[in-house]
Amino acid sequence: MLLCPVRDCHMALGREERRLLCPRGHSFDVARSGYINLLQPQERRSKHPGDSAAAVAARRRLHDRGVTEPLLHAIAEMMVAGPRDIVLDAGCGDGFYLGTLARQTGFDAHGVDISTPAVDAAARRYRGCEWIVANADRFLPYADRSFSIVLSITARMNAGEFRRVLRDDGGLLVALPAPEDLVELCGAGRDRVVRTVETFAHDFTLVDQRRVATAADLDAAAVHDVLLSIYRPMRAQPTEAMRVTFSLDLLLFRAVSGRCRLWIGSRSRVRSGMCRTR
């Protein structure tokens, strides 16, 4: 399933004990924690791309507090994964959502992220999954039609690559920060739903949409962890306990075959070609 990430290669990778090898001789070692680093030098814009170790640790502490449990439950209900599914989380971070759902459901789980500290943390905690360091914005190092479900949870989105690695009957679940997400810290955000649906309109049909929100009473340390775990600039640095809102817009798409295309209008979606509603 894994492909060589070297430019102009992309041949299948075979496993040999603690390394992966392609027919052209490109070799990639398996880290002690179990992840595989397929990130190429030209695919990084900084020496340490993605989440820092501090951000990863802060986000994990929030997950361990149970702050994101309602969000996890909503994602699980919407994706409806079963033991036979093969699931990719593109931009998996520390692996909380994918790893937890895989343990609960038993599906075959694969996570990819550009942050080495995040993927290392995921590999150490969720050993039943496969974890890859790679730049999903450029290339997902997997064979065509490898997955039955693709997740993108508050991560960058690559519509073309998502469609390439997703089976023709597959589902794509996108989670976006809703406008009221962290409103107490950052103010009201933008509604990203319409633009996101338009981004995926060429290859996907929107089949379900919902908003999930929860509020948590956090002490000063937890508030600081929230600030460490996000990229948005803060107007001030709160030092006291406060209630914080966490909210996601969840969009469930189905892959569209080559003979079926979707046009998004201001009020409705119109299908053309020979296409059945799933």
CA–CA separation, 268 vs 208, rounded Å? Answer: 14
pLDDT at 17: 84
Q: Is residue 273 part of a domain?
A: no
The one-character DSSP state at 276 is -
Task: Report strand pairing: 147-153 vs 166-177.
Answer: parallel
* Number of domains composing the chain: 1
On whether residue 102 sits in a domain, the answer given is yes
* Amino acid 232: pLDDT: 52
CB atoms closer than 10 angstroms to residue 264: 16
Whether residue 19 is contained in a domain is answered as no
Does some domain include residue 268? no
Q: How far apart are CA 15 and CA 35, in angstroms?
A: 13
Give the pairing of strands 130-133 and 147-153: unpaired
Both structure tokens of 41: 């030098």
Residue 134 has pLDDT above 80, yes or no: yes
Tokens representing 77 are 């209900």
Here the contacts of 199-202 (C-beta below 8 Å, separation 24 or greater) are 199/157, 199/159, 200/157, 200/159, 200/162, 200/172, 200/174, 200/253, 201/262, 201/263, 201/264, 202/159, 202/256, 202/261, 202/262
- Within-domain flag for 170: yes
For residue 82, tell me if it sits in a domain: yes
User: Helices in the chain by DSSP H: which ranges?
Assistant: 53-64, 69-79, 96-105, 116-125, 159-165, 183-186, 193-200, 220-229
Q: Give dist(CA 64, CA 125) in Å, integer.
A: 12
What CATH number is given to the structural domain containing 125?
3.40.50.150
**pLDDT tens profile 205-241:** 999 999 999 999 999 999 999 998 886 545 556 668 9
Is 265 within a domain? no
**Helices 96-105 and 116-125: crossing angle, nearest 10°?**
20
The domain of 139 spans 48-196+212-249
Encode pLDDT of 2-61 as tens digits: 999 999 999 999 998 899 999 999 999 999 999 999 999 887 777 788 999 999 999 999
Residue 269, pLDDT above cutoff 50 = no
Residue-wise over 200-223: b if at least 16 C-beta within 10 A, else e? Answer: bbebbbbeeeeebebebebeeebb
DSSP secondary structure, 63-124, as one string: HHTTTTHHHHHHHHHHH---TT-EEEEET-TTSHHHHHHHHHH--EEEEEES-HHHHHHHHH
Is 147 in contact with 84 (CB distance < 8 Å)?
no
pLDDT per position as a tens digit, 158-199: 999 999 999 999 999 999 999 999 999 989 999 999 999 999
pLDDT band at 258; cut points 50, 70, 90: low
Residue 227 inside a domain? The answer is yes
